[in-house]
Structure 1
Amino acid sequence: MKYTFTALALAATALANPLPEAQGAPPSFRIKNVVSGGSGCPQGSVDIDYTDSKVLPIYFNREFTAKVGPGVAPDQSRKNCQLSIALQFSPGYQYAVYSADYSGWGDLDSGVRGVVRANYYFSGEQDQAASTLALNGPFNGRYSKHDDVAVSVWSPCGSEAALNVNAEVALTPMGGSQSGTLVATKESARFTHSVFIKWRQC
């Protein structure tokens, strides 16, 4: 089963050592549908290719790249992607996001600040969880960070649930003399954003 992206990876991984909230072995699940939209991932640019029920690698293309600097249009300073990932899984379970890993590449002049953030929520639910990575210039090279999500937002009990991920990359200030690029594809140093989930029985 394949869809199409090129530089954010979403890995949904069941815990080898379950947290206190988790009960029993995680259920099997599959992706039913993926919908994307926004300046960083127009519909049709998504690619999700997975080989088992534990890892869902999702990649963005080059449009998910923020830039600032002389001659760069203001709307390039922030790129957004709204994803809706419909999962189908064994009845009697629900799942929640519990952490995220960020890894990518940036080139920021002194005075430029970069932010990579994502909000996670389920369709029809009001509660949200969030994770954020901040980078301050001067910075050039690869970065990585593990970010524990402070609040667990659980999917409704049932056999299906749509996980929504609102991701963005942004740079400030705009219109200055400093330059910055964040989440670009540079050789093999692709930006990845791995989201880990935990399961429990309803």
Structure 2
Amino acid sequence: MVGAGVDFHNAADDRLDLTLLDSKALVEWLADHLAGFEVERIMLGGESSGAHLAAEALLHLRARGKAEAVAGFVSMCGAFDLGGSQSLRLSTGKSLVIDGQSALRNLQRLTPSLSGRDAKGPLFADLSCLPPALLVAGALDPILDDSISMYERWQSQNGNADCVVFPESPHGFNRLPIKLATRANRLVRAWISQMLDHCKRG
């Protein structure tokens, strides 16, 4: 197994479009060069805004006819609605880890660099013909609705999505020194192993 991280442009000067272009180009390059890494499939995923970038990269691969290179998609506290989901819009400054209203203002600042469906987020894309997905979220996360809504649309179009919401957990809880984080990270590792084993058997 080989691990790879995308070294994309940060959204400096609010240029989220450049960050998206980097993510799409690098993931496509990886899909084209799997043999050089002696692997057959990609497990694509990310946390928070990284899940947004990973989802857009997956949609890009599908558009290029290369989605079969992806064994599965994993999201941890993912952001998929760039317009701001209901849970984000209703959140207050009392949210743990991130301030919901500040996060909403950041979305409003970043999206003008995008156009069309990209400006709305992957939640509003055609999600058909995508690999299995696991979406993990915290019940106290201001963007909880992003994960739930993405799961519902992915499941309705593909029938291969799972969503797990951990109680009393804030945004990015999987990085905190708490038992729920250990459980969540163990769940993700087990799911990834299951998907890769399924690909080997298939």
- The structure that has the greater radius of gyration is 1
Return the structure number with greater relative CO, CA threshold 8 A, min gap 6: 1
TM-score of the superposed pair, with normalisation by structure 1:
0.29
Normalized per residue, which structure has more strand?
1
Normalized per residue, which structure has more helix?
2
